[in-house]
Amino acid sequence: MPGEFRVEGRRSGMAARFSSALLRQHAGVGSRTVTTGAAGTKQLRKATAPVKKALSKAVPRSKGSGDQLWLPNTQRPGWLDGSLPGDRGFDPLGLARPAEYLQADLDSLDQNASVNKAGQIIGKYQPAASARVSDTALAPYDEVFGLERFRETELIHGRWAMLAALGVIVGEASTGVSWADAGKVELDGARYLGFNLPFSITQLVWIEVLLVGGAEIYRNTALDTQSRLYPGGYFDPLGLASGDDERAFRLKTAEIKHGRLAMVAFAGFAVQALTTGEGALSSLARFANSFAPDLVSDIENALS
């Protein structure tokens, strides 16, 4: 269980010193209570760790809302408590499960004994989840495959997917060129809103690298999870997410939901381009021309 460390069994001198050192290492969080059980058994229980700094401020649900899950009649995993925006308890592979460390006793190495037993698991330690980041900007999270890191990558990919999906639709609607062929058109010269740009493709690539790379470097230098995900300030000029925690939570939930939908949509754009060679709007027109008449005829046949 989180926040609990239990050492059981008969321990040799080296194992006892190893256990004591490990216990002293993690004794800084919470208080400790030592109880004595059967002979040769010692139990050490740490009090619940202090409340962590949440990734985002949880907003209490209304009494009639209930627990919103990704699938009705399913059970929420213990490590997903619903405090994150858009948390619907979906983690079938357990990717966000907190890490658990095991302590094994030393193997029996008595050369005079006929049988030497292998060391058993004598302790378990599960660190309390923490939203703090380390002092290294390029590797900020204590757990690389932890819930905090997964939330950051999901949110950033969702924002890029929303920009990409919008760019595909607007670009195809304004130029009539499939998004998959946009790079070929740029070889004839850079144009924006019908105006010729005095830049070559190489120059445009470097401009994009500097602008996007500069923004990512600025974001990755932040050592606070809230600043990395929701910088605010100039990125919230209307102050929509400031001052009202409940409204900010709703906006964050809407953003992550739209980001997930955009990621699925752009994956569909890519599959359509690979299989049919057409853009998003052309594929949509093909679907409408084939689906709508069939639907009308099916309804007429059902009514006749």
DSSP secondary structure letters along 14-35? HHHHHHHHHHHHTTTSS-EEEE
DSSP secondary structure letters along 218-240? HHHT--SHHHHH---GGG-TT-T
157 is annotated as contributing to ligand binding? yes
% of the chain residues with pLDDT over 90: 13
149 is annotated as contributing to ligand binding? no
**197 and 227 part of one domain:** yes
CATH of the domain at 151: 1.10.3460.10
**119 and 196 part of one domain:** no
Does 137 have pLDDT greater than 80?
A: no
Is-contact 119 106, C-beta < 8 A?
Answer: yes
Over range 14-27, report the average pLDDT: 46
**Residue 81 within a domain:** no
**287 and 179 part of one domain:** yes
247 is annotated as contributing to ligand binding? no
Q: What is the pLDDT of residue 132?
A: 53
**Residue 217 within a domain:** yes
255 is annotated as contributing to ligand binding? yes
**19 and 117 part of one domain:** yes
Task: Note the pLDDT tens digit of each residue in 219-242.
Answer: 877 777 777 888 877 778 888 877
Q: What is the pLDDT of residue 38?
A: 42
Domain that holds residue 275: 147-303
Does 174 have pLDDT greater than 50?
A: yes
**Which is more confident, 21 or 168?**
168
In the block, residue with structure tokens 């999901």: 154
**112 and 193 part of one domain:** no
Q: How far apart are CA 200 and CA 188, in angstroms?
A: 10
223 is annotated as contributing to ligand binding? yes
Tokens coding 33: 């209570």
154 is annotated as contributing to ligand binding? yes
Is-contact 146 96, C-beta < 8 A?
Answer: yes
H or E element at residue 121: strand 121-125
Task: Note the pLDDT tens digit of each residue in 276-287.
Answer: 888 888 888 887
**118 and 177 part of one domain:** no
